């Protein structure tokens, strides 16, 4: 007979290996940033990149722990890239265009790195590996 005053230990979250559906949603969290960036590149490219991961995280965070982790990772990475792009824009603006000498090459480098790292993260998530983006501010915990 159990005593009701005893603390009941919760069951473990998962077996440690994400299922096929969980891996697929984690991959979608990363790839949704690419779709958002492509669809909104003309007017709000940086904002569009984190809307997809944000929606997936908000919808799936309680049901799927792996998706929760990977969607937060994608969200944090895309927010970090957005901050970097905005900082370079401000540099160009406040220097009356002279900062474009620095901003344009960095925008290209960051854009290529964003594309490559997002594709790598999507592949890793589909394999069930928790991917960590380099140089990412962990704002959403």
| One-character DSSP codes across the chain | ---TTSPPPPPPS--SS--HHHHHHHHHHHHHHHHHHHHTHHHHHHHHHHHHHHHHHHHHTTT-HHHHHHHHHHHHHHHHHHHHHHHHHHHHHHTTTTTHHHHHHHHHHHHHHHHHHHHHHHHHHHHT-----TT------
Residue 140 has pLDDT above 70, yes or no: yes
Distance CA 135, CA 103 (A): 18
- The arithmetic mean of pLDDT across residues 20-33, rounded, is 94
Q: Which two tokens stand for residue 100?
A: 């474009």
Predicted confidence (pLDDT) at residue 15 exceeds the cutoff of 70? no
Give me the pLDDT at residue 42, please.
53
- Asked if residue 87 has pLDDT above 50, the reply is yes
Residue 103 to residue 48: CA distance in whole angstroms: 21
Q: Give the per-residue pLDDT at 18.
A: 86
pLDDT at 129: 94
The pLDDT score that the predictor gives to residue 90 is 95
Question: Residue 49 — very low, low, confident or very high, per pLDDT cuts 50/70/90?
Answer: confident
Domain spans of the chain, in order of start: 20-126
Residue-level pLDDT at 43: 55
């Amino acid at each position: 007979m159990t005593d009701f005053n005893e603390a009941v230990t919760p069951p473990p979250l998962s077996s440690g290996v994400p299922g096929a559906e969980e891996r697929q949603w984690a991959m979608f969290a990363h790839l949704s940033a690419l779709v958002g960036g492509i669809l909104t590149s003309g007017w709000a490219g940086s904002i569009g990149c984190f809307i997809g991961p944000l929606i997936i995280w908000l919808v799936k965070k309680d049901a799927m722990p792996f998706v929760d982790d990977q969607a937060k990772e994608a969200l944090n990475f895309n927010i970090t890239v957005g901050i970097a792009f905005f900082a370079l824009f401000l540099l160009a603006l406040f220097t009356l265009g002279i900062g474009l000498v620095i901003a344009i090459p960095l925008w290209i480098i960051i854009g290529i790195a964003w594309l490559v790292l997002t594709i790598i993260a999507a592949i890793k998530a589909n394999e069930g590996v928790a991917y960590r983006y380099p140089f990412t501010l962990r704002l959403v915990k």
